[in-house]
């Protein structure tokens, strides 16, 4: 029974396992609470997608979907987010198996670096779009485009800030049990943003190449 218990999953995401004692016990309720937040956030994103879908033709003669898509930049952004997610996963695995603080912080900072690459490319695309006159005030379509893609970008910015915050917390407090569960929750958030991004490139950017 003990061997199967070690593999028993208590909550979404990577489970720390019994060797983490208090943090493993606490994780069940706090991670589930965070999961409820993520699912409600998913509903918010879904509504932004719905509004985007209904206003796709409401360009009012301004720039449309096809005019603002830079496929190379989107591919690079997708790659950065995926690599960032993978590196965050590696960081949580390192934490689970009691690697040193330095190792975990380095993986987290590597993950943050790719998150910032994503943000940099996205901001560059937004600036390019604005220079082409595709500002949010131009049309109903562009308002919904900026709102949807911008909301995701805002989430990534907050996530990047939080990665920095947990790195500082690990450095100062070490692996206290609430710091560990915080890293787990941030991991869920970071992987969740990838899922939203799949929706964004499939619904917003790739169809733009067709027209």
Partner 1 sequence: MNNKDERAHDLRMYFTGFIAAVILTALSFLTAILQPFGSVGIFASLAVLAAVQIAVHFRFFLHIDVSRQKREELQLILFTGLIILIMVAGTVWVLGNLMTRMM
Alpha-carbon distance 205 to 65, whole Å?
A: 8
Least distance (Å) between residue 75 CB and partner 1: 6
What torsion do the CA atoms of 175, 176, 178, 184 make, to the nearest 10 degrees?
Answer: 20
Q: Which of 86/151 has CB closer to partner 1?
A: 86
Q: Are 191 and 34 in contact (CB under 8 A)?
A: no
Least distance (Å) between residue 88 CB and partner 1: 9
Q: Which of 13/159 has CB closer to partner 1?
A: 13
Least distance (Å) between residue 172 CB and partner 1: 26
Least distance (Å) between residue 121 CB and partner 1: 15
From the centroid of its chain, how far is CA 80? 11
Q: Which of 90/116 has CB closer to partner 1?
A: 90
Cα-based distances in Å from 161 to 109, 115, 150, 172, 186: 11, 10, 16, 17, 11
Q: Which of 54/168 has CB closer to partner 1?
A: 54
Q: Are 143 and 51 in contact (CB under 8 A)?
A: no
Q: Which of 87/129 has CB closer to partner 1?
A: 87
Cα-based distances in Å from 150 to 62, 71, 156, 157, 171: 19, 18, 10, 10, 32
Least distance (Å) between residue 55 CB and partner 1: 7
Q: Which of 38/130 has CB closer to partner 1?
A: 38
Query: What does the binding site for partner 1 look like in residue numbers (CB under 8 A)?
Result: 3, 6-15, 17, 32, 35-36, 39-40, 42-43, 46-47, 49-51, 53-55, 57-58, 71, 75, 78-79, 82-83, 85-86, 89-90, 93, 96-97, 188, 191-192, 194-195, 198-199, 201-202, 206-207, 209-210
Nearest to 122 by CA among 60, 62, 75, 52: 75
Least distance (Å) between residue 113 CB and partner 1: 17
């Amino acid at each position: 029974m003990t061997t199967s218990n070690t593999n028993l999953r208590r909550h979404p995401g990577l489970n720390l396992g019994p060797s983490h004692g208090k943090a493993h016990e606490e994780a069940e309720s706090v991670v589930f609470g965070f999961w409820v937040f993520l699912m409600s956030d998913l509903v918010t994103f879904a509504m932004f997608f719905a509004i985007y879908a209904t206003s796709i033709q409401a360009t009012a003669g301004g720039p449309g979907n096809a005019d603002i898509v830079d496929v190379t930049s989107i591919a690079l952004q997708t790659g950065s987010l995926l690599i960032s997610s993978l590196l965050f996963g590696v960081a949580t695995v390192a934490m689970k198996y009691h690697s040193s603080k330095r190792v975990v912080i380095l993986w987290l900072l590597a993950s943050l670096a790719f998150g910032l690459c994503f943000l940099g490319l996205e901001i560059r695309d937004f600036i390019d779009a604005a220079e082409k006159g595709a500002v949010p005030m131009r049309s109903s379509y562009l308002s919904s485009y900026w709102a949807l893609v911008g909301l995701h970008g805002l989430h990534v910015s907050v996530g990047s800030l939080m990665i920095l915050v947990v790195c500082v917390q690990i450095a100062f407090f070490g692996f206290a049990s609430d710091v560990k569960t915080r890293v787990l929750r941030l991991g869920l958030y970071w992987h969740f943003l990838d899922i939203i991004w799949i929706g964004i490139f499939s619904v917003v950017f790739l169809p733009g190449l067709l027209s």
